[in-house]
Amino acid sequence: MSTNILKITKQYDTQAKCLSYLKSLRWGKTVKCPNCESDKIRERKSQPYQYFCKNCKKQFSVFTGTIFEGSRLPLPKWFAAMGLMLNAKSGMAAKEVERNLGVSYKTAYYTCMRVRIGMLMEHTSKLTGIIEMDESYFGGKARKYKKIPDNEQSIGANEITLKRGRGTNKVSVAGIVQRKGNVHTEVMGKLTKRNLLAMLKHYASSDNSILMTDGFKSYKAMDAYIDHLTVNHSKQMSKGITHVNTIENFWGSVKNGIKGSYRAISKKYLPFYLVEFEWKFDHKLYKGNEFEKLLKNALQHEKGLLYWKAKSTQNVKEVAYGK
């Protein structure tokens, strides 16, 4: 279900309304201390939505321990930014958020990054059924090499060809998806058998599951863990149910979004943008209130992750969940 920006801006047009909504989403009727989980709380009369815990003697607010903590941006603009990002299926650049909200570029950039942190999902169940796994490559320039023909005397002996993907210095990202289910990605330094198998075991269950991959040699190690079918792309793109079209469509969406909205993304922050595209893929058929779900999820994440130098999507998730 798409997010109605006009409804959000009309319904939550004041700081007080936004604070009341966040309070109900985070605690319901009973406020609890985020430090000790005690419900022995006293609200400060002079400062609405500011609380004091009688148990651990600490002060806190609805922002404490969330992506909103320490931000001076009014909540109505926070809500509008979240709505804009949810509706932008191919992503929205911070420059565009700056123009829409009337804030500085720096404010727009950090707000967008915190919203992406709020999109981090902790999935308790593993992928099952028909699962696809594939890798993709981001950034850098395609490497040039000479194409050596079978006949050295031919005209094309010195032809220069661009090599893409494997064998280049691009950033490699592995992805795994359950058909009609969720997708997970990881930025990987090396696409080794060990790394790919570890990712498969982390996200997918081998029970009642079938893995689909292309003919990349590193996927051969999967045979010992899960039922595995391979499609040879040099001969055909699919053979019945054996294909990796779902994960390849996801890669296409990510690359079109980066090219169209963001132009370029550094390796350090690529995992955060991948989290955004994961969220959008997982919720493309979501029938509920996606804006409310994002707010509930965002209230579980701290802003501190924003300043951490990400090395991989898996590291991002481990830090976010305190693992």
For the stretch 9-21, pLDDT in tens is: 999 999 999 999 9
Cα separation values, 322 from 195, 304, 305, 319, Å? 22, 12, 11, 5
CATH number of the CATH domain containing 219: 3.30.420
pLDDT band at 142 (very low <50, low <70, confident <90, very high): low
Q: Are 251 and 175 in contact (CB under 8 A)?
A: yes
115-131 per-position pLDDT tens digit: 999 999 888 899 999 99
Return d(Cα 134, Cα 187) in angstroms, integer.
12
Kindly state whether residue 7 falls inside one of the protein's structural domains: no
pTM of the model: 0.85
Q: Are 256 and 90 in contact (CB under 8 A)?
A: yes
Number of domains in the chain: 1
DSSP 8-state code for residue 261: I
Kindly state whether residue 22 falls inside one of the protein's structural domains: no
User: Please, what is the average pLDDT of the chain?
Assistant: 86
Q: Which residues does residue 138 pair with via DSSP β-bridges, in sequence order?
A: 171
Kindly state whether residue 280 falls inside one of the protein's structural domains: no
Kindly state whether residue 49 falls inside one of the protein's structural domains: no
Question: Shortest CA distance to 50 belongs to which of 59, 37, 39, 40?
Answer: 59
- Mean predicted confidence (pLDDT) in 261-281: 91
Kindly state whether residue 319 falls inside one of the protein's structural domains: no
**Residue 133 domain boundaries:** 127-271
172-212 per-position pLDDT tens digit: 999 999 999 999 999 998 899 999 999 999 999 999 999 99
54-63 per-position pLDDT tens digit: 999 999 999 9
Return d(Cα 178, Cα 211) in angstroms, integer.
9
Kindly state whether residue 313 falls inside one of the protein's structural domains: no
pLDDT at 309 over 50: no
Give the pLDDT of residue 160: 44
Kindly state whether residue 113 falls inside one of the protein's structural domains: no
pLDDT band at 317 (very low <50, low <70, confident <90, very high): low
| H/E run at residue 229 | strand 227-230
Kindly state whether residue 94 falls inside one of the protein's structural domains: no
239-251 per-position pLDDT tens digit: 788 899 999 999 9
Return d(Cα 306, Cα 114) in angstroms, integer.
7
Cα separation values, 34 from 37, 67, 287, Å? 6, 14, 31
